[in-house]
Structure formats: structure tokens, C-alpha cells
Amino acid sequence: MAMYWIKLQTTIYDDPRWIAINPGEAEATENIYIRLLVLAGISDAAGRLMIYAERPHTIATIATLMRRDKTIVGRAMDVLLGLGFIEHDGHEYAISNWERLQFKGDAKARERDRQRKRKFPSDSPSDSTSDSTSDSTSDSGREEDEEKDEEDDNNSVVVSGEQKAQRLLNLKWPHVASSAAFSAVAHALAINGEAYVLAQITYAQQRARDNPGKYLIDALAGDYANYRGKAELLAQVAEERQHREVEERQRRENEDEAARLWQMSEEGQATLISLGLIPDSATPELAAGGRQ
């Protein structure tokens, strides 16, 4: 059954990886990513993009649903794969960090909400005849339940993060698996995302000698891999590339304008020269002819 709605965090574009996308492709890539999130909600398969059970979406089916050119969708998917926003195991596409993005503890909260409504039905006839003491007791019970719900929801998110950290560390570096390492990875996943954690694991694997578990924990806390610095460098490179594109476009426009002027009649060029709109030196042949 498809999810009726998905969660979209207001901080989604705070991720520095977005800055690394070519400005000319950024709008299409961002739009396609949001559509992929919706498609994952429709699939309701833990973030996997599925047409139905055992039948995954392809770039062709995704492009058809989005009414976009297959080449554009394919390029955007490649960019999102490269930056770690989506995953592909050789068979199917999936949204990275789907559980963390959607806070899967909400299903448990909704069930408790239904139970609470059965326990404290609103707008029932008995409410109008109950005394103030009963109302006060009911309100107190609701408040306590709501506080418990909030606490349980927070715990469920932490547990989900711990489970993902365990899976990730057991897959990438089981040698350093420990409760302290799991907690450090879970915290880094929640704050910085999976790409940051993977960068620190790779860095620590290459450099750690004694006590690699502690080295990894320190790397996660101190950004030993300089992930943020690289993100800033990518942003700088993207800005410089955009500046060069603007300069190149301006250069082509100037050349086109010069060619257009050059193709004008000699009389038209002479008029522009006499009006001072173009320099005499810009048309040496005309200037030489005019002096004869």
C-alpha cells in the first residue's frame, strides 16, 4: 500500500553536496530528486523504487512517469548516485537514508494515537455531562500520554540510527565494531549524513595503526578526512566554473555582435563611424577607402 504522504525536511538543501552540482543541471536534478522521494513513498518499499514487488523501476519507467526526457533523467540519476543521494545495487534504485529521512517511528506513534482516541473519545455525549474533575483527569491523562509519545518517538529515531550505524559499520569495517563506535557513527549519520561517515571510515582505514576504533571515533568528531573542506572546495570550483561560463558566453556574444557589425554595408559602417558609435580602427579597410 502506498504511503499517503512523505516528510520533506526544510534543511534538505543545507547539504553541501548540492553545491557540487553543475549550475546548469542543478534545477533539474533537485526537481528529479524530490520526484524520486515521492516515488519511493508510492512504492512504500523502505526507500526502494519499485513498480510492484520484485519489479524495480528503471530510468525509462521513471522518465515516463515524470514526463521528462530519458537522457535528462539518466544524467540526474548519475549525479545523485555519485553524490550518495540514491543507491543502486545492480538491480534496483533506492533512496539513501530513507528511514532517517522519513522518521519511521511515526507508525508506532500513529497506533498509540488511535489507542488514545479510543480511550478518550472526543465529542461523545458523556463529555457534556461529566464534571470538571473528570475533565481535568482526562486532560491530565492526555498530556501524560502525549509526553510519553514524544519521548518514545525520539527513542525510536535513535534506535533506528543505531541500527543503521551497526549495519553500516559491520559492512564497511567490522573489525572496529563496538558500542562506542556505533554511537559515534549514529551521531555522525544524524548530523552530517552517510557520505560524511563513509569518507571518515575510508580515511581511518588508510591511516589508523593502533586502536583503529578510537581513531575512527576521533575522525568522525574532528573531520579528519576534511569532508567539509572538500565540500567548500567543490563549491568554489563550481563558482569558478560558473564564472568562466558567464565570461565565455559574454565573449561569444561580443564576437557575434562584432560579426554582425562587420557584415553591415560600407555605408552603414561609415555612418556608425561618423556618429562615433564604432571606432574608425575597427574597420581599417573602410577607413582606408574613405580617405582615398
At 2, give phi and psi (nearest 5°): -70, 150
Return the higher-pLDDT residue of 101 and 128: 101
* Long-range contacts, stretch 148-152, CB < 8 angstroms, 24+ apart: 149/109, 149/112, 149/113, 152/105, 152/108, 152/109, 152/112
Per-residue pLDDT reduced to its tens digit, 54-85: 889 999 999 999 999 999 999 999 999 999 99
Per-residue model confidence (pLDDT) at position 265:
59
Q: Is the pLDDT of residue 86 over 90?
A: yes
Out of 98-112, 130-144, 200-214, pick the least confident: 130-144
The matching CATH number, chosen from 3.30.420.280, 3.40.30.10, 1.10.10.10, 2.170.190.11, for 12-102 is: 1.10.10.10
CA distance 199 to 210: 20
Q: pLDDT-derived band of residue 268, with 50, 70 and 90 as boundaries?
A: low
Beta bridge partners of 88: 93
Q: Return the pLDDT at 116.
A: 62
What residue segments make up the domains of the chain, in order of their start? 12-102, 106-121+144-222, 227-280
Q: What is the pTM of this model?
A: 0.41
Interval 218-244 mean pLDDT = 77
pLDDT digits (tens, 9 = 90+) for 175-193: 887 888 888 888 888 877 8
